[in-house]
């Protein structure tokens, strides 16, 4: 980001109290007329380590329901969308194999394979094993669970907690 654009939006203080600071920063840039590029890059480095599932879970559970604007309807749509896109294909593989239904098994394998193929270039860019592309359904299941946990935390009044501050529904 150019320093002139950062100054135009009021500096980093503009997003200091935001739970999802990167999204708040992007929104502030867009309001100022700036452009946001969303894409893959090897030049970006995260300053916050997420070395294991517990830290990733905490980050997603802290922010996911906030990103959905605390909306049960958006939560439902997100979960159903993730199930349809990522979990139906492996489900079809399992049910096709169990039920000896070659058409369902074949369609499930084809869909899962195409999903893996679409993810493969991203894994290659980041020098990860291409076999991880077949893990997308498991990753989606975990992400759904994290998102539901995020909503549960907010419904229980715990909200998001970050750097010793607790954020709740505005």
Say if residue 19 is in the same domain as residue 101: no
What's the pLDDT at 169? 55
Residue whose C-alpha is closest to residue 62's, from 163, 162, 160: 160
Please state whether the predicted TM-score (pTM) of the whole model is above 0.85. Answer: no
What's the pLDDT at 116? 97
What's the pLDDT at 54? 94
Maximal C-alpha separation, the chain? 63
CB 32 within 8 A of CB 24: no
Residue whose C-alpha is closest to residue 83's, from 133, 152, 134, 142: 142
Say if residue 75 is in the same domain as residue 9: no
Q: Evaluate whether residue 11 is within a structural domain.
A: yes
Say if residue 69 is in the same domain as residue 141: yes
Say if residue 34 is in the same domain as residue 54: no
State how far the alpha carbon of 134 is from the alpha carbons of 30, 36, 80, 105, 170, in Å. Answer: 36, 30, 20, 16, 39
What's the pLDDT at 34? 80
What's the pLDDT at 61? 92
> How many CB atoms within 10 Å of residue 8?
14
Domain range for 27 is 1-38
Given a cut of 70, whether residue 21 has pLDDT beyond it is: no
- Tell me if residue 10 falls in helix, strand or coil: coil
Q: CB within 8 A of 154, min separation 6: which ones?
A: 65, 66, 70, 160, 168, 169
| Alpha-carbon gap, residue 113 to 90, rounded angstroms | 10
| Alpha-carbon gap, residue 74 to 105, rounded angstroms | 31
What's the pLDDT at 46? 75
What's the pLDDT at 115? 96
pLDDT for 105-164, tens place per residue? 999 999 999 999 999 999 999 999 999 999 999 999 999 999 999 999 999 887 666 555
Q: Evaluate whether residue 168 is within a structural domain.
A: no
H/E segment holding residue 52: none
Q: Evaluate whether residue 44 is within a structural domain.
A: no
What's the pLDDT at 37? 79
Q: Evaluate whether residue 170 is within a structural domain.
A: no
Q: What backbone torsions phi and psi does residue 24 show, to the nearest 5 degrees?
A: -65, -40
Say if residue 120 is in the same domain as residue 56: yes
pLDDT for 45-95, tens place per residue? 777 788 999 999 998 998 899 899 999 999 999 999 999 999 999 999 999
Say if residue 31 is in the same domain as residue 97: no
What's the pLDDT at 167? 57
Say if residue 154 is in the same domain as residue 72: yes
What's the pLDDT at 168? 57
Query: Which pair of structure tokens corresponds to residue 167?
Result: 């954020």
What's the pLDDT at 10? 82
How many structural domains are present in the chain?
2
């Amino acid at each position: 980001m150019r320093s002139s654009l950062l100054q135009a939006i009021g500096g980093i203080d503009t997003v200091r109290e935001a739970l999802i600071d990167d999204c708040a920063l992007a929104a502030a840039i867009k309001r100022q007329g700036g452009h946001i590029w969303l894409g893959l890059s090897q030049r970006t480095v995260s300053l916050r380590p997420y070395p294991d599932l517990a830290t990733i879970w905490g980050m997603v559970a802290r922010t996911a329901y906030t990103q959905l604007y605390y909306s049960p309807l958006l939560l439902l749509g997100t979960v159903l969308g993730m199930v349809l896109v990522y979990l139906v294909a492996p489900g079809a593989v399992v049910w096709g194999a169990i039920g000896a239904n070659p058409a369902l098994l074949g369609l499930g394998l084809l869909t899962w394979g195409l999903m893996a193929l679409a993810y493969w270039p991203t894994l290659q860019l980041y020098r990860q094993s291409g076999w991880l592309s077949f893990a997308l359904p498991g990753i989606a299941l975990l992400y759904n669970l994290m998102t539901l946990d995020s909503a549960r935390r907010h419904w229980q009044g715990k909200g998001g907690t970050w750097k010793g501050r607790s954020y709740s529904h505005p």
